[in-house]
């Protein structure tokens, strides 16, 4: 073992020197040969970082191995080994055997590896929105659509906002009082994604509001169906006496009669208060199981919350599942509602999460597909991807299309555009890497 450590230490110095002298291909090939020397597979299908780290008993070799991985995430980008470098980078992010300090040392370089999601087309949703105020030349801007399939087309809640943003760091309201406002519209689309009707969703509830709050309205609604009932969850700040984001749940209406009025009046809003009233609550992902409303609350620890009803009204949430993962999913933030999705003949759920990277004085939003089985264990996920550009984009929904071979992604771009992206189901399955 000492001889092996000795040679690896010498090679480590040579690799770092080669990288510093811009000999990236030499450095990458030397690292790959070190992997062979350590009997580590070079095929990503056989790569399991947690198992590899568990098999290395020598602390010196483990340290050298991690340094080699770090170097490979830098040099492989410039070589033919770029795709393997991306896979290793992702493995480091998802391993719970890697320290937070080491992960921080990796920095934000992964954003250069991330590839665009391959889609054949995209469909714009050009919703007519009101002016921000009477004398304004600016209209509300569409963003973050939540979409479900119905028999004769689709329903979509389209959020609209009165501000512009820059890199998701600065938010400038166009309103005279400079408050941030959200207005939501329920759109009915036909199978060809033409808008057939548009109804504004109005908060007519008697729930007391925080008058000092500067962020108003139902943010990032997640639309879902419970039999013939339409419900949505959303983020609200003005329902908290502290102005802190919390998740609220509302009944929207029955599918059979919801289109009868020009506007949809929401008469009850239920904030789903947790045991931590000062915690910022966002990105809960609702889904229905056995007619009960559940939420994917966190991916790590995997936390599934279920809604408690009293007299047919939601009153609170309790934990159904709360367990630590064998991987590190702490960077997973909710985006789309889970949908039923079988993988390798196993039943489960598919959803999309977003991953935020802070760099260059701003944020980058990337996404990945995640599959969990029907026991709520995450068993597969894709590499990170972007859909339009490396910047601010948010995949708020995923649903089945009327084309049985496709799923549809509802995406907001730069908080001012709404698009639907069809993607082939088999393509998604091919992207999912078993964990």
Q: Is 92 inside any structural domain?
A: yes
For residues 95 and 134, membership in a common domain is answered with no
- The boundaries of the domain holding residue 160 are 123-434
Tokens of 134: 């009477």
216 and 104: one domain?
A: no
pLDDT tens sequence across 96-134:
999 999 998 898 999 999 999 999 999 999 999 999 999
Domain assignment present for residue 409? The answer is yes
Q: Using CA atoms, how far apart are residues 418 and 197, in angstroms rounded to an integer?
A: 17
Does 228 lie in the same domain as 169?
A: yes
Tens of pLDDT, residue by residue over 213-226, are: 999 999 999 999 99
pLDDT in tens, 400-418: 999 999 999 999 999 999 9
Q: Judge whether 85 and 77 are in contact, CB under 8 Å.
A: yes
Q: For 412, list phi and psi in degrees, rounded to 5.
A: -100, 135
Residues 198 and 261 in one domain: yes
Q: Under a CB-based contact definition with an 8 Å cutoff, are residues 403 and 422 in contact?
A: yes
Q: Of 113, 137, 152, which residue is a domain's last?
A: 113
User: Does one domain contain both 192 and 55?
Assistant: no
* Amino acid 1: pLDDT: 60
Provide the β-strand partners of residue 341.
Answer: none
CA gap 12, 304 in Å, rounded: 44
Q: Are residues 72 and 156 in the same domain?
A: no
Domain check: are 90 and 130 in the same one? no
Please say which residue of 92, 113, 134 terminates a domain: 113
Number of domains in the chain: 2
> What is the distance between the alpha carbons of residues 175 and 136, in angstroms, rounded to a whole number?
8
Contacts of 330 (CB under 8 A, 6+ apart): 299, 300
What percentage of residues in the chain have a pLDDT greater than 90?
89
Asked if 260 and 374 sit in the same domain, the reply is yes
Whether residue 150 sits in one domain with residue 74:
no
Percent of the chain residues past pLDDT 70, beyond the cut: 100
pLDDT band at 89 (very low <50, low <70, confident <90, very high): very high
Q: Which of 38-52, 170-184, 415-429 has the lowest mean pLDDT?
A: 38-52
With respect to residue 355, please indicate whether it lies within any of the assigned structural domains. Answer: yes
Evaluate if residue 143 carries a pLDDT over 90. Answer: yes
For the stretch 110-113, contacts whose Cβ atoms lie closer than 8 Å and that sit 24 or more positions apart, written own/partner, are 110/73, 110/86, 110/357, 110/384, 111/357, 111/359, 111/364, 111/366, 111/390, 112/77, 113/77, 113/82, 113/85, 113/86, 113/89
The whole-angstrom separation of Cα 402 and Cα 43 is 37
State the chain's mean pLDDT as an integer: 95
Residue range 162-191: mean pLDDT, rounded: 97
Q: What is the pLDDT of residues 229-239, one digit of tens each?
A: 999 999 999 99
The secondary element (H helix, E strand) that includes residue 332 is none
- Residues in Cβ contact with 59 at an 8 Å cutoff, skipping those fewer than 6 apart: none
User: And the tokens for 101?
Assistant: 């300090």
Q: Exposed, middle or buried, 223 (CB in 10 Å: 0-12/13-18/19+)? A: buried
pLDDT in tens, 246-290: 999 999 999 999 999 999 999 999 999 988 878 999 999 999 999
Q: Which of these, 407, 246, 417, 412, lies nearest to 335 by C-alpha position?
A: 412
Identify whether 276 is part of a domain: yes
Residues 318 and 418 in one domain: yes
Detail the DSSP E strand segments found in 269-361.
269-271, 285-289, 292-299, 302-310, 313-323, 333-334, 339-340, 348-359
Q: Is the peptide bond before 408 cis (omega within 30 degrees of 0)?
A: no
Last residue of one domain, picked from the residues 113, 134, 152? 113
Residue 118 lies in a domain: no
> Which two tokens mark 18?
């080669």
Three-state secondary structure call for residue 145 = strand
CATH of the domain at 214: 2.115.10.20
Please report whether residue 102 resides in a domain. yes
Query: Is the domain of 49 the same as that of 153?
Result: no
CA–CA distance, 24 with 29 (Å, rounded to integer): 9
- Integer Cα distance of 132 and 139 in angstroms: 5
**What number is the average pLDDT over the span 61-67?**
93
pLDDT at 275: 82
Q: What angle separates helix 2-20 from helix 59-75, to the nearest 10 degrees? A: 20
Condensed to tens digits (0 to 9), the pLDDT of residues 4-58 reads 888 899 989 999 999 998 999 999 999 999 999 998 988 777 778 998 999 898 9
**Band (435; pLDDT cuts 50, 70, 90):** very high
In a shared domain, residues 408 and 311: yes
Cα–chain-centroid distance for residue 253?
A: 27
Tens digit of pLDDT for each residue in 324-366? 999 999 999 999 999 999 999 999 999 999 999 999 889 999 9
CA angle 151/129/176 to nearest 5° reads 145
Per-residue confidence (pLDDT) for residue 4, from 0 to 100: 84
């Amino acid at each position: 073992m000492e001889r092996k450590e000795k040679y690896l230490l010498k090679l480590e110095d040579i690799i770092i020197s080669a990288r510093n002298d811009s000999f990236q291909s030499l450095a990458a090939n030397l690292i790959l040969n070190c992997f062979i020397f350590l009997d580590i597979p070079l095929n990503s299908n056989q790569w399991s970082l947690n198992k590899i780290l568990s098999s290395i008993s020598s602390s010196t070799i483990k340290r050298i191995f991690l340094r080699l991985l770090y170097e490979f995430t830098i040099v492989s980008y410039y070589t033919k080994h770029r795709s393997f470098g991306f896979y290793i980078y992702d493995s480091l992010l998802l391993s719970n055997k890697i320290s937070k300090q080491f992960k921080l040392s990796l920095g934000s370089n992964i954003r250069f590896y991330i590839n665009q999601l391959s889609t054949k087309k995209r469909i714009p949703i050009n919703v007519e929105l009101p002016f921000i105020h009477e004398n304004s030349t600016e209209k509300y801007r569409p963003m973050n659509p939540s979409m479900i399939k119905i028999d004769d087309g689709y329903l979509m809640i389209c959020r609209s906002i009165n501000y512009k943003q820059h890199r998701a760091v600065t938010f400038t309201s166009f309103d005279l009082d400079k408050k941030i406002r959200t207005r939501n519209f329920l759109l009915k689309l036909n199978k060809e994604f033409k808008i057939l009707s548009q109804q504004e969703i109005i908060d007519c509830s008697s729930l007391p509001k925080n008058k000092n709050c500067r962020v108003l309205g139902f943010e990032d609604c997640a639309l879902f169906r419970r039999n013939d009932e339409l419900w949505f969850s959303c983020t609200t700040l003005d329902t908290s006496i502290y102005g802190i984001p919390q998740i609220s749940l509302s009944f929207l209406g029955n599918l059979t009669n919801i289109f009868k009025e020009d506007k949809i009046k929401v008469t009850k809003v239920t904030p789903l208060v947790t045991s931590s009233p000062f915690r910022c609550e966002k990105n809960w992902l609702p889904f229905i199981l056995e007619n009960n409303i559940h939420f994917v609350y966190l991916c790590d620890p995997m936390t599934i919350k279920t809604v408690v009803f009293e007299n047919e009204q939601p009153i609170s949430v309790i934990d159904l599942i709360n367990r630590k993962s064998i991987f590190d999913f702490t960077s997973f933030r909710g985006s789309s509602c889970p949908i039923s999705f079988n993988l390798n003949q196993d039943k489960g759920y598919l959803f999309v999460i977003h991953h935020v990277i802070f760099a260059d004085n701003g944020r980058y939003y990337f996404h990945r597909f995640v599959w969990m089985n029907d026991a709520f264990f995450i068993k597969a996920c894709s590499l990170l991807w972007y859909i339009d550009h490396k910047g601010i984009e948010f995949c708020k929904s995923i649903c089945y299309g009327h084309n049985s071979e496709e799923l549809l992604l509802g995406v907001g771009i730069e908080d001012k555009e709404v698009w639907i992206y069809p993607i082939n189901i088999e393509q998604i399955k091919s992207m999912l890497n078993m964990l």
